[in-house]
A = this chain, B = another copy of it.
Amino acid sequence: MAGVAEQLRRRIRELEDRLARETGGGGGGGQTQRARIERMSPEVTDSNPYSRLMALKRMGIVKDYEKIRTFAVAVVGVGGVGSVTAEMLTRCGIGKLLLFDYDKVELANMNRLFFQPHQAGLSKVQAAEHTLRKINPDVQFEVHNYNITTVENFQHFMDRISNGGLEDGKPVDLILSCVDNFEARMAINTACNELGQIWMESGVSENAVSGHIQLIIPGESACFACAPPLVVAANIDEKTLKREGVCAASLPTTMGVVAGLLVQNVLKYLLNFGNVSFYLGYNAMQDFFPTMAMKPNPQCDDRNCRKQQEEYKKKTAANPKEVVCVEEEEIVHEDNDWGIELVSEVSEEELKAASGPAPDLPEGITLAYTIPVKEEKSIDEAPVTDSEESLEELMAKMKSM
């Protein structure tokens, strides 16, 4: 009995100490952070933030979990998918995160995970860094509050992914595209083809109920320009899709699932376990998850993609066994190298009904996602607000004057 009372008293002392630390210092804001941890430990104690991750070794899933600390990953776009992606990598104890975004937090983003109402008005990268540092002070952060698609920023972006690795002057290990528009995806694609940089792409449809992730190894698998999504294939102007006053729908569920599948693929790729997916789709209406792999297009518009294809061919010819290659150009229908079967035939009709019409595409190319059936009338009736130009757009205009 005395022991129990003693434990209750110890708990009171512990809480009093913490309260003093929290409130004593300088009022709000200055919350206690956990101390940095020099070495990841498998020790099973309540105070070890890495015990459940290091347990992946004991479970036989990952050989060398600590290796996570040696990697630098760039996340471009810190919105509904990118912020959750960054948080997952931070909690997993990634070595370094580089964040790129030029947007600011709005209350209109509160239907997705991560940002909170009191952060409205802050830049997304700044707000994200603040939260993520508190979650895991062991991670290094480098944030850039700009639009990577302007000429000047693109050069800086190229420089940082070439030199912003964990060791200064070394490239990052992986780039994750979590952007919401074609232009930014194309900029990342251009950079990665030029640098031979491996990256993963992600996306969520405008109707909020489907998404995908994709691994792109320049020269080995199709790049973003080899197999363009609907907006390019059908020559639909993106500005028409994202009309003023008509916002895309989004759900924390779909975005959380896509971020989870993306970071899972990242962990499998970096820590060498399981099967890394080249393409994994998510159709929420049907709970349907198609996978596939695509070879690059020999007639790709991007000359650096074609160059990478040549180099990949030479590498394969010189050392045929070392290369993990994409075997199938067409969508995989039968048993395949990844042990996964594509079952799209089953619900093709339902998929179409759920996601809107799909254009005719050349064989071997499928849609990253489709545009939902819109009721034209209701769009016309939707309230139209004034167009708000971003700071970058205004600056670009001023420069060109």
Chain A residues in the interface with B (C-beta under 8 A):
1, 4-5, 7-9, 11-12, 14-16, 18-19, 22-23, 25-34, 42-53, 55-56, 58-61, 84, 87-88, 91-93, 106-108, 110-113, 116-121, 130-131, 134-136, 206-209, 245-254, 256-257, 259-261, 263-264, 267-268, 273-275, 277, 280, 284-289, 291, 335, 338-341, 343, 346-347, 350, 354, 372-375, 378-379, 382-385, 388-389, 391, 394, 397-398, 401
Given A52-B249, A275-B285, also A33-B256 (CB < 8 A): no
Q: Indicate which residue in B12, B280, B346 contacts A335 across the interface (CB closer than 8 Å).
A: B346
Q: Which residues of B contact A268 (CB under 8 A)?
A: 284-285
State in angstroms the CA–CA spacing of A282 and B110 once bound together.
Answer: 27
Q: Are B30 and A107 in contact (CB under 8 A)?
A: no
Q: Indicate which residue in B48, B264, B354 contacts A107 across the interface (CB closer than 8 Å).
A: B48
State in angstroms the CA–CA spacing of A121 and B328 once bound together.
Answer: 52
Q: Are A61 and B260 in contact (CB under 8 A)?
A: no
The secondary structure that dominates the A interface is loop
What are 6 of the A-B contact pairs (CB < 8 Å)? Answer: A28-B31, A44-B108, A60-B373, A88-B113, A93-B111, A209-B274
Given A61-B208, A340-B347, A391-B11, also A264-B260 (CB < 8 A): no
Q: Which residues of B contact A55 (CB under 8 A)?
A: 208, 246-250
Q: Which residues of B contact A259 (CB under 8 A)?
A: 256
Q: Are B44 and A245 in contact (CB under 8 A)?
A: yes
State in angstroms the CA–CA spacing of A393 and B51 once bound together.
Answer: 23
Shortest Cβ gap from A285 to chain B (Å): 4
Q: Indicate which residue in B245, B247, B260, B275 contacts A256 across the interface (CB closer than 8 Å).
A: B260
Q: Are B116 and A91 in contact (CB under 8 A)?
A: no
Q: Which residues of B contact A27 (CB under 8 A)?
A: 29, 116, 118-119, 130-131
Shortest Cβ gap from A376 to chain B (Å): 11
Q: Which residues of B contact A51 (CB under 8 A)?
A: 108, 247
Q: Which residues of B contact A16 (CB under 8 A)?
A: 15
Q: Are A254 and B246 in contact (CB under 8 A)?
A: no
| Copies of the protein in its oligomer | 2
State in angstroms the CA–CA spacing of A389 and B8 once bound together.
Answer: 11
Given A116-B135, A289-B287, A340-B346, also A28-B30 (CB < 8 A): yes
Q: Which residue of B lies closest to A391 (CB)?
A: B11
Q: Are A121 and B14 in contact (CB under 8 A)?
A: yes
Q: Indicate which residue in B15, B23, B275, B284 contacts A264 across the interface (CB closer than 8 Å).
A: B284
Q: Are A206 and B257 in contact (CB under 8 A)?
A: no
Q: Are A53 and B251 in contact (CB under 8 A)?
A: yes
Q: Are B246 and A267 in contact (CB under 8 A)?
A: no
State in angstroms the CA–CA spacing of A338 and B93 once bound together.
Answer: 40
Q: Which residues of B contact A257 (CB under 8 A)?
A: 256-257, 260-261, 264
Q: Indicate which residue in B60, B245, B267 contacts A374 across the interface (CB closer than 8 Å).
A: B60
Q: Which residues of B contact A135 (CB under 8 A)?
A: 110, 116-117
State in angstroms the CA–CA spacing of A267 and B249 once bound together.
Answer: 14
Given A58-B379, A343-B341, also A267-B286 (CB < 8 A): no
Q: Indicate which residue in B15, B260, B287 contacts A340 across the interface (CB closer than 8 Å).
A: B287
Q: Which residue of B lies closest to A50 (CB)?
A: B111
Shortest Cβ gap from A51 to chain B (Å): 5
Q: Indicate which residue in B91, B251, B346, B401 contacts A92 across the interface (CB closer than 8 Å).
A: B251
Q: Are B56 and A249 in contact (CB under 8 A)?
A: yes
Q: Are A385 and B263 in contact (CB under 8 A)?
A: no
Q: Which 6 residue pairs are nearest across A and B when measured between Cβ atoms?
A: A28-B29, A257-B260, A274-B285, A55-B249, A256-B260, A339-B347
